[in-house]
A and B are shown apart, each in its own frame.
Chain A
């Protein structure tokens, strides 16, 4: 089976802006490097082949050769206009994969992209996705399920059980990419990189807009002066404080808390 690793080649020229980006500074993100490392670790315990893919011009083959030198078995470049949107890029990548067992991606790219390609890949392949992973617990056995921790908004974490085919995107901190051996580095420069030319058939996506919560109706503050209105809004000088110290047994205290929450309208 194939484990695919999608890395984004970015012609990143550092903090100095340039009209003519210099491919010598191009590379792939730490997140993509971590994705490659996880794929290599899994392949070490199995007979899986690691296929590394990127979309970009001929210069992008440098990162593929870098991946080959670190242990990837095969490299494939999609020759496609990078101004295409993520859905098109994802479709072109999937078209070159042929039913992979897993697809590993980085959670972010060096050019601060949208990070949406992994989702589109999952949709194209019609398999599960586990995105934004910050920790993984790989099993000894190659095909066993394993747990991963995913970052949620507000500092929360979600633990996922991953079994079967899935698209996974990882943060750069999850793994450090191994250093290529000297022999592999030398041989990678001569290894073949397969090239597929893809056309940019546009994918129609529904119009998207940022999440906006419904407005909440708030009554106008009451008061003749501005000070009174401010006091009304902020509840300053109000005697109906919500704070209260009680001494009670645990069960009684819990009952009291629930009563208070109902009274203040936090519970039905």
Chain B
């Protein structure tokens, strides 16, 4: 008799959803969290797209601790002094069934873990899982923890232990972990009054804004972001790890530089830094995903690199919640079938393949590398802002030059060959199309 049917490691969105799904199917579930409470590290600073919760927690939006519902999405391209901003607003996103939302992860993760507890899972905090237990045939049959008498056995272990998943690595599922596949997300949380945030970002009540930024990262490949919470804003950058290291730049300096940009400074002016945090992001999508199934073991969430970083689509929590939920369901089904081998647990990856989780990743598999490529990062922002600047500049008595001429001249000025432009456009169209 095992101590539990299913052990879920990590009470983030993936882990809690796995625990909810498994506990609801009547399994004895232990959810182990390293922090003193789920979400105790507020590293995350993004938009959550919780519609996947419709299946798991009906009417989730009535109780979820949401800061603001995102009704404005902007993509901003920055050159040294200019900015092109493409902005879309939909007030419908501020009403049920909603679209994206900003939230503090200590609140959100705590809330969703309580749903798991309500479903019957045992939540154990302040406990670090240090390794996998294996039976005499090498199958995963539990975990070891840092507590005295800390071994715990189970039929299935679901590893949702985050981006740097020691369990997935220990299980040999990450054979080629490459630093080039990761970015470093760095975030400052700035305190501003709700009134000021509403005025600056053109929103009301609990409406929020999500601004994604290309450029403005001091020459390091990556991007920037600004998200509005109720009375704080999150401003930060996501930086390609290998480039950041090679260029010997400090992430806090890069955020400071971004905050000084003429298009950003008016938005963040007067904000008092109340929090600074950094976190690794598995950025390379399908290219870096590990094997997600082994005998008695499933990998979900960031641990499985299920983070979509495809330029205009930057999503992670929804992929984590979905993968966690499918992992919990598959583990339960395998236990019911009396077979928790990798072959039996493969229903998990089948489910991922059938749904947006892997379909989106497959469709966009080339986009993460395209977005972080040197050309997109360093040449296109200057090219695009240069074109727009000249299109809207009136140089009378000189007549208007015409768009084609402007594009040609700016492309040459930015050092982009026509063949490169066409190739990147085709890659983008193929990916996004």
Contact = CB atoms under 8 A, between A and B. Distances in A.
A185 B150 CA distance: 10
A179 B127 CA distance: 10
A33 to B, nearest CB: 13
Nearest to A16: B274
Contact of B127 (A178, A185, A189): A185
A182 B110 contact: no
Contacts of A178: 148
A183 B149 contact: yes
Interface in B19-54: 30, 36-37, 40
A182 B149 contact: yes
Interface string B131-163: 000000000000001011111100000000000
Contacts of A189: 122
Interface string A62-91: 000000000000000000000000000000
Contacts of A16: 274
B124 interface: yes
Interface residues of B, number: 17
Contacts of A180: 147-148
Contacts of B106: 24
A179 B147 contact: yes
B37 A181 contact: no
Interface string A224-268: 000000000000000000000000000000000000000000000
A1 interface: no
Given A16-B274, A24-B110, A189-B122, A182 B37 contact: no
A179 B148 contact: yes
A186 interface: yes
Contacts of B37: 24
B30 A186 contact: yes
A182 B36 contact: no
A182 B145 contact: yes
Interface size class of chain A, counting residues whose CB lies under 8 Å from the partner chain: 10 to 19
A181 B122 contact: no
Contacts of B36: 24
Contact of A185 (B40, B110, B147, B151): B147
A186 B147 CA distance: 11
B110 A181 contact: no
A181 B148 contact: yes
Contacts of B127: 182, 185
Given A24-B36, A24-B37, A186 B148 contact: no
A261 to B, nearest CB: 59
A181 B147 contact: yes
Nearest to B147: A182
B124 A182 contact: yes
A185 B124 contact: yes
A183 B127 CA distance: 12
Counting chain B CB atoms within 10 Å of each CB, the highest count among A16, A178, A183 belongs to A183
Contacts of B110: 24
Contacts of A185: 124, 127, 147
B161 to A, nearest CB: 17
A182 B122 contact: no
Interface string B99-122: 000000010001000000000001
Interface in A176-198: 178-186, 189
A189 B147 CA distance: 16
Contacts of B40: 24
Q: Which of A181, A182, A185, A186 has most chain B Cβ within 10 Å?
A: A182
B125 to A, nearest CB: 9
A186 B123 CA distance: 8
Contacts of B152: 182
A182 B274 contact: no
Interface in A113-169: none
B151 to A, nearest CB: 8
A189 B152 CA distance: 17
B99 to A, nearest CB: 28
B271 to A, nearest CB: 16
Contacts of B150: 181-182
A207 B151 CA distance: 57
Contacts of B145: 182
B38 to A, nearest CB: 9
A186 B149 contact: no
A184 B152 CA distance: 12
Interface in A1-48: 16, 24
> Which 5 pairs across A and B sit closest by C-beta, in order of nearness?
A181-B149, A182-B147, A182-B150, A181-B148, A24-B37
Given A186-B30, A186-B124, 8 more contacts: A24-B37, A179-B148, A180-B147, A181-B148, A182-B124, A182-B150, A183-B149, A185-B147
17 contacts: A24-B36, A24-B106, A24-B110, A178-B148, A179-B147, A179-B148, A180-B148, A181-B147, A181-B149, A181-B150, A182-B145, A182-B151, A183-B149, A185-B124, A185-B127, A186-B30, A186-B122
Interface of A: 16, 24, 178-186, 189
